Structures are given as structure tokens and as C-alpha cells.
Structure 1
Amino acid sequence: MLSDSLKHQIRDIHSRIKTTLPLYQPRPGQNLLVAEIAKIVSGSYHRHERIGLIEAGTGTGKSLAYMLAVIPYALSQKKKVVIATATVALQEQLVNKDLPFFQQHSKLLFEFSLVKGRQRYACIERMRQQQKHPELFATAADAAFDWQKLLDSWQQRYWLGDRDTLATPLSEDLWQRIVADPLHCHKTDRRHMNCPFHLARAEVSNADVLVVNHALLLADLASGNSILPQAEDSLYVIDEAHHLPDIARDFFAAQAQLSHNSVWLEKAGKTIQQLITLLPATVMKELLRFDDSCNELNSLLKPVERSIAEFKTRWFADKTEYRFTDAALPKLVQQQAEPLAQMSQKALVQLERVQQHLQENISEQKLPLKQSFNLLQDLSHLRHKIEQQQGLWHLYAMEQEKNVHQARWVELNNQSQNVVGHACPLGVANKLEQLLFNDAFAVIMCSATLTALNSFQYIKYDLGLNRFEGVKTLQVTSPFAYAEKGKIVIPKMKTLPTEQAYTDELSTLLPNYLPKDQASLVLFASYWQMQQVAENIRKKGFSLLVQGEASRQALLQLHAENCKHNRCSILFGTQSFSEGLDLPGKLLTNLVITKLPFAVPTSPLEEALAEAITRKGGNPFLQLTVPATSKKLVQACGRLLRQEQDEGQIIILDRRLVTKSYGTAMLNALPPFQRHIEY
């Protein structure tokens, strides 16, 4: 429970922040958020299950609300706060703006740190080797790269040693040469003690508030908290939580090639022979065991490859993906799954030992430089390949006959003719329950769009929260005066978006809804349709900024420049422009949504999810497609009003909102704009 002194402290901090913020407006919604989040994390509602699902509309100030409610309480309990976001943009806002502001004006003594994956950091020692011995590493194309300049910028602290703060981005090839991978950049080696990655990790132990992305949070939970504090010592705030189920599915999925594996496995044999000639005799047994495992892996994969070759023509007759109905694999592939999962795991353990021996000998400078670096590179590549195999066969070995809980499919790479196997869990509820919800001290999940069709049931099901009785749900509406500031217009149309003539009608009707004195954003559900309509409208004299014709950044800069000089500006974009795009004030007053953003269930995962619902007697369109589309429509409409003083209109050119039974529920899930329906 919150003590009286803590309640007073939170009120005092809130009061100080109010007086500091320019043009501060009282926000009852924010006050409610602070109070409710504080009650959830302090156990006022449930002593053990401190879990909150909170939908906070645009302008409620949820970032400040959860910092106010969580940080003072966490400090009083000697717990850590872990804030996880789905986008880099929100991470940067928290670390560069929100947390420094809160730290300054709250007068609380706490440290915060941004935690990124190892792959985002450079290894300074590897960079020095590139600079000292260009003849060992450089190709003709990049021999002229100035590594010394980059080293100087690190030493002078203009560059923080990570990929995100580089003044000029590096190509993938150059970055991979200096990335702080675990093989090259060992903390135990004195030369690497002050590498950016190890310095950043040292900050983690001193920080009270840690900002991460969803994928890193999941990776750390799955690895038993190797970076972040233990779950029972952490108060988690998962922002942009509507992304968590999909990110978790991707994280727990696996893929690996099922054909042409002998190529890299034979290369592994040559690498092992080189290591035998280089490393001391004491390592010989380890190397021979690893060689045996690679040979055994090759033997187990060969019958799989023959089986795949027999099915290949039938699977890929007219498409490049083939999904296994009910996750039922071909008999021989299923038989090999368990032995392959075990053998690849065994090979990984042995590879780890070989890598350690090689690293020790390099650290002691007992090996030729060029050869040892090449071998490290080869082992790193080999490790990646075996990890992929282990991940896939582990999932393929799982029983699926009684309850299907995976999507399984194969994909043909037209260029290489490689067949790649895929497995993805249909749900992540059990994983999240086991890794996060069971042990966490408290979990607050928030987003501007957490409900679907005004219900939390869909997200509770996806996250596996139906079985937790202590879950508290809260909807806080935006303070914006939607009915006064904007309206939704649904013009009368002759065709449905599913009809062929719809694109032509769209091209005819759209110019009527592109005012010449305003900033417009037109959202399309199809890239092809966007290009077709853009071509037709340009013939009528309209100047357009179309996604794909320049970078997103360049398009938005041109748009801002047009608006600054009161020129008409029209942006055309697809789904990626309907979320996370911030165009406040006169940067957007006219939003056009061409058609409801229904996702056609064409991906193997979507097909498998629909199949699972049908098997249980459900309706995948109503249970899966309609709620997902409603959520996307809310996100798209959220582009219009970004500040309290903003105003404008939303045009939706899809008659299904009026003519279909699900249309009313979708309309009612939108903010309470004025409505003008021409039917």
C-alpha cells in the first residue's frame, strides 16, 4: 500500500512539474492515471498480481503519469524500473527529454540508462586492428575508409561508440568488422575492458531506471536476466504494449535452411582442421568431438534434404511458400526433428568451448594475427548457422497432434534455390506468463490503442492475462475536444473497395477532398493502389509527396517546408504512415483514409491462426480480422489531432463502415468526432 508520506511526495512532485511546464493545462485524465498506476504497483488492488492494462488516449500525458506513479514507489522499495518500448523514437524521447526533465524537477536521486543489444555497439580494439593492419581486412572498395577519424571521435567523446550515434552511417559490411560480438570483445581481456559495450553494461548495475526495447526485454527474460535485474526486483512499464504479442511471436519463432547444408558443414570441417594445426594438443580431444558432431549433424540433415527435394516441385508449383496444414510435417522430417534438436544443441556446447580456447590463445598473443581473426570470423558464422538449426528443430520436435500451437511452413529462395524451414508459435500467452507475469514485482502495460472494438478481451487473450484475477484495466480518454475540433466524413460511393472499379472511382473522387490551402495525408491499404491513384491524380495537376519516391525523412522535411510557406502539401502513404507519424498543427488538417486496413490472411502465420480458430468452431473474420482492423483504424485516425489546439477533418472512402454489420462497432471505437455520413 502507498504510505501517506509517499502520496504527499508524488503530489509535491506533480505540483512542481505543473508550475515548470510552459502552457500547462490541467489534465484530469493524467491525475487519474497517476493515482491508478500507483495503486496497482503498490498492491492496493491485489497483493501479488500487480498487473495493469491501461489505454491512455493522445494528449493524456501517460509518460509523465507512469514516471510519477512508479519511480518514487520503486525507489522507496529499493526496486528497479524497466521501461520497454517498441520504437526507437519513444526510447529517444524518454532518454533525451522525458527522464532528464523528470529527474531535474522531481528532485529525486536516481540514475537512468538506455540499454541496447550488443550488436548496437562497436569494439574499439577491433577498430584499432582495422586501422593498424588494413592489409589484413580491407577490400579494394573500402580500403580508403578513415578508421583513425572514428577512433578520434570516440576518444574525444563526440561519438558514444554505438551505431545509433554515428555522425555518418556505416555500411553493414564495415559495421560487422567492428561490432562488439562476444567472440572478439571479451571483458576478461584487458584490451576490451573500456569498450563501449562493457562501459554501457557497467552503467546498468548503477541505474535505477532502465529503458529497453521489447525484443531486448524478452531476450533477457528468456536468458534468465543476464543484463536486467531479476523479475521479482523489477517494476516493468511496457509502453506501446499493443505491439508486444507480435514482437514476442517473432522472438520465439525460428528459421533455418533445410537444403544445401553440406556446403557450410564441409567448410566447418576445414576450419576445424586449421584449428588442429594451430591450437595446443590439450585442445585436440575437444576439436575432434566437435568435428564428430558436425559430421553427425550432416548425416542427420541429408535424409531431410532428400525428402524436401521430392516434395519441392509440388510445394512450390505456383508460389514460394508452402504451409503445413495443422502443423503436420512430412513423416521423415518429423522423425529427424528430435535427433537434430539434440545434436545441434550438443554441437553448440562444443563450439562454445572451442571458441573460448581460441580466444584465450589470441589474448596471450600465441597465434598469427590474420589467421586467428579469420578463424574467429568462421566460427562466428558457424555458430549462427548451428543456432538456427537448433532453434528450428527444437520447435519442430514439439508435439502438435492433440493441440496445434505452431505455424510451420517452408519457403523457397528463388535466387539461391535454398529451402528454408519456419516455425512460429500461434500464441505467446504461456511464455509471457512463465517469463514475465508470474515473477515480476509489477507490470504496467500501456498504449494509446490497447483495446479492440472498445474491449480489453482481445489483448488479455493474446497476452495470457485471462487467468490472472488481479489484472486491473483502465481506459482514459484523450482531453482533446474531438466533437469541436474535428469531424469524420463518409462520402457516398458506388463501389466497394473489393471491386475492380474502386481504384477508378477513388481517382475521380479523391481530388474533391484535397483542399488547396491545407496539409493532407492520404493513407492507402495497398502500395500498388497508392501508385496507381498517384499517377491518375498527377495527370489532373496535383503535386504529391509519395512514399517510396524519397526517404520518409526527406518526404516529411519537404512537407514541413511546404506548410511553413503556406503551400498546398499532400502526402501519400501506406500502413507505416498510419502509426508513429507526428504531424501537429498545420502540418495536418485533412486526413483521408481510402479504405479500411483489412489485412488479407495470406501469410502462413495468419492462415494458421485462422485455421486454429475455425478448428475450435469460431469465426476468424470476426474474432481476428475485424478487431485487428478496428485497432489499425483507430491508430490511423490518431494522426489528425496531436495537440489540444489542432483541428481538421477525416475522410473515410469506404462504404463498408455504413453497409456492413461490423461497421457500427468500428465507428463507435473511434474518438467522438462529429460525423457526417452521406448515406
Structure 2
Amino acid sequence: MLSRDLQQQIRSIQQQIRASLSNYRVRPGQNQLIAEIAHTIAGSYHRHHRIALVEAGTGTGKSLAYLLACIPYALSHTKTLVIATATVALQEQLVQKDLPFFQQHAGLDFEFCLVKGRQRYACIERLQEMLQQPELFPDSSNQQQALASKLLTAWQERRWLGDIDSLPFAVPDELWQHIQADPYHCHRGSRRHQHCPFHLARAEINDSQVLVTNQAFLLADLEAGSAQLPTPEDCIYVIDEGHHLVDSARSFLSASAPLLQQEVWLEKALKFSQRMQSNLPESALKTAIKLQELIDDYRRDYQPVKQQLPAFTTSWFKDNSQFRFVDAALPLLLSQQAESLAKSSQQVVNQLEQLHQKVRDAILEQQLPARSISSTLQELSFFDQKFSQQQALWRLWSESQQSGVYQARWVEQTEQQHQLLGCASPLRVQAQLERLLFRPAFACILCSATLTALNSFSYPLRELGLDQMEAVRTLQVSSPFAYAEQGSILLPKMQHEPTANGFTDELCQVLPDYLPKGQASLVLFASYWQMNQVATVLRQQGYNILVQGEVARQKLLEQHAQQVQQQKTSILFGTQSFAEGLNLPGDLLTNLVITKLPFAVPTSPLEEAMSEAISKQGGNPFLQLTVPATAKKLVQACGRLLRQEQDSGQIVILDRRLVTKTYGKAMLDALPPFKRNIHY
């Protein structure tokens, strides 16, 4: 139960915050949130299942509410508060704004830090090697070398924090892959790496009582047995942007790996294992020999697949670059070999880890030639990545689907080097979320501005597997904003539906009418292709447009803010990632244009498999799956307009299906109660 002392402490902190801010307003909705979350984590509703789903509209002060409810309890019960989001933007807001504010005014002694995946950090040693030993990076260009030099200077001058999110300029993916941290190069036992960005960041975890991370990292850490974060029973989890948790879990549990062209890197792996037998001390000889044997075993298991794949591809890719296996039923050969390949690839991965430890020992004892250290670690990292990819795919492909279809399985051809990828994704993730998160967690709060679908919790409860769990709490708190007085939704009459061939041309014609001069506009597109097509046409007409992807996100938003401050017309073009987590308060956004309802791509193999599974159970996949998911995305997109109580503006939706289709009214009714202006 929530003790009286804690209740009083929470009230006192709230009063301190109120006294510190001249414009602070008591919000009944926020008080509801604080009480519900605090009682849930204290076990007032259920001693073991301390789980709540909370939908809090924009402006309710959701972040402050869960900080107020969770941090005092976590500190008094020696628990760690772990806040997991889906977007970098919200992580930055929490770490740069919300938590410093709370720390300053709450009068509580606690530390917080941002926890990101290793690959979001650069390895400064690798960056230096790229400049000093370019022969280790034979595929790097002169342009990449120049950018690497600028990055190193920025790090040395403390103008860059060493992570991908604070890059001072855009960096190509190819360059980042060369310099990103990995467990083989960036080992904490090496003195050269003790002060690298990744290990400096990790050192903060032990000293922090509040950790901010992303949902994918949290799931990966839980699967790894809490390798970086505290154990679940010692954590209070707040899953912010909780409507993404199912997709985050499905993405984390998915796998894809190349099926063709393996002989080249397998041959390199064999030569590497042979070279290790010569270069490493005698104590490591058995490990290197065993690695060679296990690689041979994997190659032997792979041979039948290699021989039959050309025949398969002839029938798979007649009309499309993707081929889905109906009911996840693989061809007999792939089904027969999957278990053997999963086992043999896992054995190679295990042996590579053992060899890595032997290499680390040889480095520490100076028994490995200095000039070969970097290339050896680079090769270890490369082969670990290759075999881990294979293991993940073949493990999923080896799981039985006889008692029911639990996966989407497909293959796809990529334009790059005509590669063939094998892919697998779970259809449902309820069991995994229960095992990893909901059962072992001390407490878990899922919150979002759009957790319900069409104003009902039944859809997220079913998706998360919480519909059968005892005492799961649900709470829906409306926004305090006066939507009808401060904003409007305009649906101009459009001739074409977004699926029609002439829709892009019509967009180019009508969009200028809805980009008012002297205002800040955000135009959201459903695809990069369409966004770039429209941007090209409007730029030819003289419009100055800031387009997502052309410069780093933060730089783009800074340019937008600068133009608004100078009272210039500013037009941002963005895709779905700009439809949520983007905070443009006040004059930074007064005109929001949504070009198309954010339906998921109906041709994706995963969507097809999920729809097929619902149909076989007698359901309607469009109404049960597609419409609820799209409705949530539309609410998120409309939530970009009003970020503060004094904000105002207009939303223009250029998709006539909101009026012409039967599901349109339900989607409109799920939106905030803006004044409506419908030209049909």
C-alpha cells in the first residue's frame, strides 16, 4: 500500500514545484495520473501484478506525473526507475528538460542518465585508426576520410559527445558502420578504450537511480539477463510512448540474414581461424582449431541450401521482389536444414566468443603482434555479426508451426549485389512480453497520448497479452486544451484518393493553397518518395522547404526555429517519424498538413501474414488490425499542433477517405474535439 508518508511527500513536492513556477496550473487530470500510478506501483490494487495502462492527452503533464509518482517510491524502496521510450526526441526531452527540472525543484537526492545501445556510440580508437591506418578500411573513400578527420577534431574540442545523436553534421551510414563501437574493439579492459564515449556513458549507470533508454534496448537487455540494467524485480518501468511496445518487441524478436553469397566470407572465416592458430600462443591453439572445425560443420550444413536456392528463386520472384511462405510453411529442404544450421551457427558464435577472450588475454600479455591487433578484432567482429545473423534466422525458421501459425516468413531480393534475404517475424509477442517484462517486473506503467484505439483499451490489452492478467489498471485522462476554440480541422475537397495515380500531381497543385505566408507549417507524408516528388515541384515554384533527411534532424529543426524567429515563412516536410515525438510549441507550428492517412503498407509480408491469421480465425483484418493502428497514428500526427494551452492553429487533411469510407467517421471521432470544416 502507498504509505501516508509517501503520499505527503508527493504532495509536498508538487507544492514546491507550484511555488517555483509563476505559470503553474493545478490540473485535475495530472492529479489523477499521479494517484493512479503511485497506487499501482505501491501494490494497492494487486500485490504482484503492478501494471497500468494510462492514456494521457497532450497537456496533461504526463512526464511530470509519472516522475512525481515513481521517483519518491523508487528512492524509498531502493528501486531503479527505468523510463523506456520509442523515440530519441522524447529521450532528449526527458534528459535535457524534464528530469533536470524535477531534480532542481523536488528536493530529492538522485542522479539520472541516458542509456543507449553500444552502436549509437563511436569508437574514438577506430576513428583514429581510420586516419592513421587507412589500409584497415579498404572500402573507405576520400570523402569519408575527410569527415572522419572533422569528427575527431570535434571530439577533441568537446564539440561532439561521441554519439550518433549529437553529430555536428550528417554522416553516411557506411562511415558510421566503420567507426561505431562494438564489443570486440571497445573492451573496457583495454586502457585505450576506458575513456571512450560508450564506457564513459556506461559508468553513469551504477550511480543513477533514474535511467532513460529506448524500448528496443530495454528488451535486448532483458533478453540478455539484465546485462546492463538492474534486474526486473528491482525496477519500476515506465514505458512511455507505450503504443509502440508491441512493434518494438516484434522488431527485436525478428531476424533477417543473407542466404546467398556465403562462400566468400566463409572462406575468409576459415583462413582467419587458421591464421589464429599461428599467431596466438599455444594456450589458445585448441580454441582456434575448434573454431575451424565448427565453421566447416556450418558450411557442410549450408551446402544443400546453396545448391537448391537458384531453383527456388526462379519460382519465388516472378512478379515481386518479395515472396512470403503461406502459413510460414518453408520448402522441405529449408525446413529440414533449419535446425542443423541454427545449431551449427550458434556453436560458431559461442566459439568466436571464446576466441575473443583468448585474443584479449594475448593482447594484455603482449603475445599478439601489435600491428595485427586491430585487424584481428575487426575480423572477429565481422564474423560474429555474420554468424549471429544466420543463427537468429535459422532459429526462427526451425520453430515448429504445425499446431498454429506463429510467424511471418519470407524471402526478398535486394538491389544491392542482387542479394537474397531470408526473413522471419513473430505475429504475436504476448508470451515474450509476459516472460521478459510483465511477470518479473516490480511494476510496469505503460503510458501514451494514444494508447487506446478508437477510444477503447481492448485493442492494446489484447495486443500486449494483458487482457487475461489480473488487476491490470486502465485510465484515460483527457487533455485540458480547449480544442474547439484553439484549433480546427479542415478537409478540403480532393478529386483523387491517395491510392490513385493522379494523387501526387493533385498534391502539388493544391498544397500551395494550404501553406500560409508568415506561418510555420509542417507537412506530413506517408512516403519519402512522395515527399521528395512534391518538394521538387514546389521548389521549382520558388518555395523554400526544409526536407527531412537532407540534413541532420536537429539541424533541420534549428533552421526552422531560426526562420520562425525572424518572422519568415517556414515549411517543414517530414514522414511518419515527424508525426510523433516532435515538439514544436507556440509559433513553431501553427499549420499542420497531413497529406495521407498513415495506413501501413498492405503489401508487406508481415502485414499479409497477420491479416491472413485473423481471417482464418473468422475475423476482419482491416477492421481489427489496420483501422485501429491507423487511427492511433492519425491521433499522434494531429497531436503535433497544440503543445501548450495557449497554442492555436489549423490541421488540413488531404485524404478524402475520412469522408467517403465507412471507417472515416470513427477515425474522425477518435481525434481531439477540434472545430471541423468539411468541404464535401
What's the TM-score bracket when you normalise by the shorter of the two chains?
over 0.9
Tell me the distance in 1 between the aligned counterparts of 2:671 and 2:576: 18
What residue number does 1:59 align with?
A: 59
What are the equivalent positions in structure 2 for 1:41-190 lying under 5 Å apart? Answer: 41-123=41-123, 141=142, 150=152, 160-165=161-166, 167=168, 179-189=180-190
| 8 Å Cα contact 2:54-2:448 kept in structure 1 | yes
Alpha-carbon spacing, 1:194–1:514, altered in 2? closer, same or farther (3 Å): closer
The Cα shift of 1:583 comes to 2.5
What residue number does 1:646 align with?
A: 647
The Cα shift of 1:19 comes to 1.5
Alpha-carbon spacing, 1:539–1:419, altered in 2? closer, same or farther (3 Å): closer
Higher alpha-carbon deviation: 423-432 or 533-542: 533-542
1:350 maps onto 2:367 in alignment: no
Higher alpha-carbon deviation: 353-362 or 131-140: 131-140
1:33 counterpart letter in structure 2? L
Higher alpha-carbon deviation: 602-611 or 8-17: 602-611
| 8 Å Cα contact 1:345-1:390 kept in structure 2 | yes
The Cα shift of 1:572 comes to 3.9
Alpha-carbon spacing, 1:497–1:226, altered in 2? closer, same or farther (3 Å): closer
Higher alpha-carbon deviation: 651-660 or 1-10: 651-660
Higher alpha-carbon deviation: 396-405 or 583-592: 583-592
Tell me the distance in 2 between the aligned counterparts of 1:307 and 1:497: 41
Could you tell me which runs of 5 or more consecutive residues in structure 1 were left unpaired when the two chains were aligned. none
| 8 Å Cα contact 1:10-1:72 kept in structure 2 | yes
| 8 Å Cα contact 1:124-1:151 kept in structure 2 | no
The Cα shift of 1:324 comes to 0.7
1:409 maps onto 2:402 in alignment: no
Alpha-carbon spacing, 1:516–1:287, altered in 2? closer, same or farther (3 Å): closer
Higher alpha-carbon deviation: 508-517 or 42-51: 508-517
Higher alpha-carbon deviation: 46-55 or 180-189: 180-189
The Cα shift of 1:41 comes to 0.7
1:13 maps onto 2:13 in alignment: yes
Tell me the distance in 1 between the aligned counterparts of 2:351 and 2:370: 24
| 8 Å Cα contact 2:430-2:464 kept in structure 1 | yes
2:58 counterpart letter in structure 1? T
1:244 maps onto 2:269 in alignment: no
Alpha-carbon spacing, 1:576–1:200, altered in 2? closer, same or farther (3 Å): closer
What are the equivalent positions in structure 2 for 1:297-336 lying under 5 Å apart? Answer: 297-336=298-337
Tell me the distance in 2 between the aligned counterparts of 1:29 and 1:568: 36
Q: Deviations over 1:409-436 (max 9, x none)?
A: 1111233222111111111111010000
1:226 maps onto 2:227 in alignment: yes
The Cα shift of 1:211 comes to 1.1
What residue number does 1:669 align with?
A: 670
2:601 counterpart letter in structure 1? V
What are the equivalent positions in structure 2 for 1:500-519 lying under 5 Å apart? Answer: 500-503=501-504, 506-519=507-520
The Cα shift of 1:534 comes to 5.3
The Cα shift of 1:553 comes to 4.8
The Cα shift of 1:604 comes to 1.0
The Cα shift of 1:22 comes to 4.0
Alpha-carbon spacing, 1:535–1:42, altered in 2? closer, same or farther (3 Å): same
1:343 counterpart letter in structure 2? S
What are the equivalent positions in structure 2 for 1:176-575 lying under 5 Å apart? Answer: 179-189=180-190, 192-503=193-504, 506-530=507-531, 544-547=545-548, 552-553=553-554, 555-575=556-576
Tell me the distance in 2 between the aligned counterparts of 1:152 and 1:420: 38
Tell me the distance in 2 between the aligned counterparts of 1:428 and 1:485: 40
2:309 counterpart letter in structure 1? I
Higher alpha-carbon deviation: 623-632 or 495-504: 495-504
Alpha-carbon spacing, 1:4–1:174, altered in 2? closer, same or farther (3 Å): same
Higher alpha-carbon deviation: 172-181 or 48-57: 172-181
The Cα shift of 1:575 comes to 2.8
1:65 counterpart letter in structure 2? A
| 8 Å Cα contact 2:130-2:148 kept in structure 1 | no
The Cα shift of 1:503 comes to 4.7
Tell me the distance in 2 between the aligned counterparts of 1:140 and 1:122: 18
Q: Deviations over 1:313-359 (max 9, x none)?
A: 22122322111111110100100011111111112222211221122
Alpha-carbon spacing, 1:629–1:121, altered in 2? closer, same or farther (3 Å): closer
Q: Deviations over 1:626-655 (max 9, x none)?
A: 111111111121121111111122232333
1:665 counterpart letter in structure 2? A
The Cα shift of 1:489 comes to 2.6
Q: Deviations over 1:517-546 (max 9, x none)?
A: 543333333445545555666677766555
Tell me the distance in 1 between the aligned counterparts of 2:32 and 2:328: 46
1:631 maps onto 2:659 in alignment: no
TM-score of the superposed pair, with normalisation by structure 1 = 0.92
Alpha-carbon spacing, 1:641–1:165, altered in 2? closer, same or farther (3 Å): closer
Tell me the distance in 1 between the aligned counterparts of 2:99 and 2:544: 41
The Cα shift of 1:576 comes to 3.2
2:431 counterpart letter in structure 1? N
2:90 counterpart letter in structure 1? L
Q: Deviations over 1:279-313 (max 9, x none)?
A: 23333332222111111111111111122111112
RMSD between aligned alpha carbons? 2.9
Higher alpha-carbon deviation: 24-33 or 544-553: 544-553
The Cα shift of 1:28 comes to 1.4
| 8 Å Cα contact 1:307-1:333 kept in structure 2 | no
The Cα shift of 1:171 comes to 6.0
Alpha-carbon spacing, 1:598–1:181, altered in 2? closer, same or farther (3 Å): closer
2:465 counterpart letter in structure 1? G
Higher alpha-carbon deviation: 189-198 or 234-243: 189-198
The Cα shift of 1:615 comes to 1.2
- For these two proteins, the number of residue pairs brought into alignment is 678
Classify the secondary structure of the residue corresponding to 1:228.
coil
The Cα shift of 1:656 comes to 2.6
Q: Deviations over 1:191-248 (max 9, x none)?
A: 5445443343333222211111111101110001111111111100111111111111
The Cα shift of 1:158 comes to 6.3
| 8 Å Cα contact 1:127-1:151 kept in structure 2 | no
TM-score of the superposed pair, with normalisation by structure 2 = 0.92
Tell me the distance in 1 between the aligned counterparts of 2:527 and 2:339: 42
| 8 Å Cα contact 2:281-2:367 kept in structure 1 | no
| 8 Å Cα contact 2:274-2:289 kept in structure 1 | no
Q: Deviations over 1:439-474 (max 9, x none)?
A: 100001111111111111221122111121221111
Tell me the distance in 2 between the aligned counterparts of 1:181 and 1:350: 18
Alpha-carbon spacing, 1:455–1:178, altered in 2? closer, same or farther (3 Å): same
Alpha-carbon spacing, 1:6–1:329, altered in 2? closer, same or farther (3 Å): same
| 8 Å Cα contact 2:90-2:581 kept in structure 1 | no
Higher alpha-carbon deviation: 169-178 or 107-116: 169-178
Alpha-carbon spacing, 1:549–1:79, altered in 2? closer, same or farther (3 Å): closer
The Cα shift of 1:11 comes to 0.3
Alpha-carbon spacing, 1:604–1:21, altered in 2? closer, same or farther (3 Å): same
Classify the secondary structure of the residue corresponding to 2:662.
coil
Classify the secondary structure of the residue corresponding to 2:417.
coil
1:592 counterpart letter in structure 2? V
| 8 Å Cα contact 2:169-2:552 kept in structure 1 | no
Higher alpha-carbon deviation: 260-269 or 63-72: 260-269
The Cα shift of 1:273 comes to 1.5
Tell me the distance in 1 between the aligned counterparts of 2:536 and 2:145: 44
Tell me the distance in 1 between the aligned counterparts of 2:616 and 2:602: 16
Higher alpha-carbon deviation: 88-97 or 329-338: 88-97
Tell me the distance in 1 between the aligned counterparts of 2:199 and 2:305: 42
2:670 counterpart letter in structure 1? A
Classify the secondary structure of the residue corresponding to 1:416.
helix
2:412 counterpart letter in structure 1? E
Alpha-carbon spacing, 1:555–1:390, altered in 2? closer, same or farther (3 Å): closer
Higher alpha-carbon deviation: 104-113 or 325-334: 104-113
